[in-house]
Amino acid sequence: MTNLLHKLNAVIVALLAITFSVSVTAHGGVAFEEDLCVISINFMQAHFTVFQPETRQNDEFCEDIPDVTNSVFVMEYLHELLNEMNVDFRIVRDVNNAGQFADWEDIQGIDDLAAATVYYQEPSIESGGYYRASYQFEEAGTYIGVVTAEHPTEARNYNAVFYFQVGGRDWGTIPLFIALLLIAQGGYWFTSGGYQKYKEKKKSSGLEA
């Protein structure tokens, strides 16, 4: 029994480490590169930053947006072709609970995309290399951002889909793993004689008193 709990404890620790690592480094279509958020629009990339000037001044955010307030989304194009492309931006509620690994198929799977959309900015060509959008959030929750870029000469679109949380970080399943880890450690301590040693120490301390 003790050996089983020890193995279970090791497995939970490993799963917790993997889960936390994935949640920190890659939520959906967002990756971290030298402390900057980067989204991939097919083979093209852009730095992605969110500002909340009314409450956070010049602080920069990526996926965990702290306040329910006006938020400014800025993309810095890292691929020259994006300067020639019509780009639009959409924010939708995560109505199907796609979560941090949301992708384009999840967007296509939304029954009524218009109803789920809280913000949409029409396509525009930003030849200066920066794309900006601003939205006044009205409630906390989980959302999905969708960037669509239209190829300038070919009849094709490229999409970037990324999940983000407004009004506090979404810890996902991490609390569950922590709870399981604590239970496993407690069971190991109990079955390996920790409780008995604690009782004996307490009894010995009482006698000495």
From first to last of the 209 residues of the chain, give the pLDDT tens digit.
555 555 555 555 454 444 444 443 344 456 545 556 999 999 999 999 999 999 999 999 988 999 999 999 999 999 999 999 999 999 999 999 999 899 999 999 999 999 999 999 999 999 999 999 999 999 999 999 999 999 999 999 999 999 999 996 544 445 555 666 677 676 666 677 766 776 677 677 664 44
Q: Quote the CA–CA distance of 74 and 71 in Å, as a whole number.
A: 10
pLDDT, position 185: 72
Residue ranges of the chain assigned to CATH 2.60.40.2550: 34-166
Separation in Å, CA 45 to CA 76, 101, 123, 169:
9, 18, 18, 25
Mode of pairing for the β-strands spanning 157-166 and 64-65: parallel
On the CB side of 89, CA atoms within 13 Å amount to: 20
Q: Quote the CA–CA distance of 181 and 138 in Å, as a whole number.
A: 37
Candidate CATH numbers 3.30.950.10, 3.40.309.10, 2.60.40.2550, 1.10.443.10; the one for domain 34-166: 2.60.40.2550
**Quick one: three-class SS letters along 20-75?**
HHHHHHCCCCEEEECCEEEEEECCEEEEEEEECHHHHCCCEECCEECCCCEEEEEE
| CA–centroid distance for 23 within its chain | 6
Pair 19, 177: CB distance under 8 Å: yes
Q: Quote the CA–CA distance of 17 and 110 in Å, as a whole number.
A: 32
Pair 172, 181: CB distance under 8 Å: no
